[in-house]
Every structure is written in structure tokens, then in C-alpha cells.
A and B are shown apart, each in its own frame.
Chain A
Amino acid sequence: MSTLDLMHSLEQLPFAQAISESTWLFPFFETVHVLALTLVVGSVAMMDLRLLGIGSRDRTITELTRSVLPWTWAAFGIAAICGLLLFSSKAATYYVNIPFRIKIVCLLFAGVNMLVFHFVTARNVAAWDSGRTPSAARVAGVVSLSLWVVIVATGRWIGFTT
């Protein structure tokens, strides 16, 4: 069974068919997906701008992380669930769509960038928590901001290419 066959099978699942056949389920999940995405992008950008020394300079990295990251994860969970539901309704179409593929690759890179920052760069965060961030942290901020701009752009592009 090829991956494309698997995508066609996914489209046959009851919930995927329900979304595909309904007039309002797709726009509903799309709206929730966009709303959750705005919170993910906005909160990630707050962290990234702090790492770059542009925003929230009066707050320490750890304090900002503690107050922002729970919202990022909650919103990401909602965006991911709605995204999967939307994907299931036209799985084969999205699977072969280039902007969709770029979006998923960028999401994976954003995840890796975050893990590297969290487990490698931020291990000695106490040394620069309230001051100027090291270049590795600023690079993580630029990479993250760039990837999320591409994620939003390719996400929007999917609607013009499917």
C-alpha cells in the first residue's frame, strides 16, 4: 500500500467524510485552526523577540517562558488537532501539495530548533537570564521567527494551490 493509498483510506474515515461533506465543519475547524495559530505565532514571536533583545527586555527569559509557554503549547495542541482534522478531509490532495509539505518540514525544523535551544543553549540561562542573550540564543530567535513566517505563508498558500 503506497502512502497515497493510505491518504485515500484516511479520507474514507467517518469523521473525515463528515468534514468533507458538511458545509460548515471545514470553515469551523479552519477558523479554530487560524485562531489557535495566531496565538502560537504571537507567543512564539514574544519569546523570539526577547531572545533578540527587541521586546520584553524588562522580563527575564525564565519568567517570560513560564508565563508564555503554557499558552503556546495549549494553542499548538488545538491548532494541531484542527489541522489533522482538516488534513483528513482532503488527505491525498494535501499530501501532494508542495506548500503543505514545506509547511510540515518547517514545523519539524521549528520543533528541532526549540529542542536545541531548550536542552543545549538554555542550559546556562541563569548567566544571561536578565541581560544580553548569547549569539546562539539570538540565532535560535531569528531561525524560529523565520520558520514561523514561512509556516504562516505556506499555510495561506495551500488555499491558493488546492
Chain B
Amino acid sequence: MIQAFSEWLAATSLSRLFADLGWFVPTVQTIHILAIAAVVTLLSMLNFRLLRITRSGPSLQSLAAGYVPWVWRSLVILLVSGILLTMTEPSRELMNNAFRLKMLLVLVLTVLTVILRSTLRHDPEYWTTTPQRRLLGGTIAAVSLILCVSIVAAGRLIAYV
């Protein structure tokens, strides 16, 4: 079914138009990478703070309030640029296992970021009140960092698998 959808998408006039424009894919990929840079940097700084690797500067709650809206804006750019790239080369993306893994990991990372943001919004000290929460917060931060690395790796590996 995905194969048939990819073939249908590739045959649409918009997909052909994008594919014929030599500058289109590198330009959209550049925008995609710049948005990834924003997400990876902001989430890394937030999660390093949650892991208490960094301790100075604003509080975790203040960092989350400042950074997470930028993460959402960047994710919108990633979604739009990602859809454009998929429309241009549907089979290269949709039939690719690295791409599918990347999408799954993005979904998990989004859920973890929503959990982090909403808990801190309701209680700025949520992740520091008990040892169990400190451990859980640290685990979420570590998993988020691993996800960031894995998403970039899976994205680059789309070209190789």
C-alpha cells in the first residue's frame, strides 16, 4: 500500500516539478538541517540541565519556558520541509527503513518533550521533589539525548540504506 502511494505521489505534477528543479532538494535539506540544529541544541541544553551536567544560569522551568516554544516552531519547519522532501522523492523516504525509524523516534521525542514541558508548567520543582522523580527526570533526559543523536543518525543513513 505504501509502495502504491509512493508511486502515485511520484507521478503527481507537483512531485515532478520539485524533482526537476535541481536546487530544490539541497535548499529544502539545508532548511531542514538548520531546524534540526535548533531542536538538537535546545533539547540538549534542556536535558543537560535536567541531568544536572550543567547547573548555572536560569532554572530548568525558565529554560523550558524559553526553549520549548522554539522547539515547536522548529518542528513545524521540519514537518513542512520533510513533507516537501518526501513529495519530491517518495520511494527514497517512505520505503526506507531508516526513514521509518526516524519518524518513530521523532514521535517518541515529541511525547517526552510534551511531558517535560507540561509537568514543569504545573510545578517548576516537579523533577526535583523526590529521589524517584529525580531518577525518572534523569532517565527521560538521557533517553531524549539518545533520541536526538539517533534521529540525526537515522536521517543521514536514509542516503545509505
Contacts and interface: CB of A to CB of B under 8 A. Distances in A.
Interface of A: 27, 30-31, 34-35, 37-39, 41-43, 45-46, 55-56, 58-59, 63-64, 66-68, 71, 149, 152-153, 156-157, 159-160
A59 B34 contact: no
Given A38-B152, A43-B41, A45-B37, A156 B29 contact: yes
Contacts of A64: 57
A42 B57 contact: no
B153 interface: yes
Contacts of B66: 55-56, 58
B157 interface: yes
A1 B34 CA distance: 39
Contacts of B70: 55
B58 A59 contact: yes
Given A37-B37, A42-B42, A153 B27 contact: yes
Interface of B, helix, strand, loop or mixed by DSSP:
helix
Contacts of A35: 40, 149, 152-153
A160 B33 contact: no
A149 B152 CA distance: 18
Interface string B39-54: 0111011000000001
A106 to B, nearest CB: 13
Nearest to B44: A39
Contact of A157 (B26, B54, B58, B62): B26
Contacts of B160: 27
B38 interface: yes
Contacts of A159: 26, 159
A153 B37 CA distance: 13
8 contacts: A27-B160, A38-B36, A38-B41, A56-B66, A58-B58, A58-B62, A149-B30, A156-B33
A153 B29 CA distance: 8
Contacts of A56: 66
B13 interface: no
B42 A31 contact: no
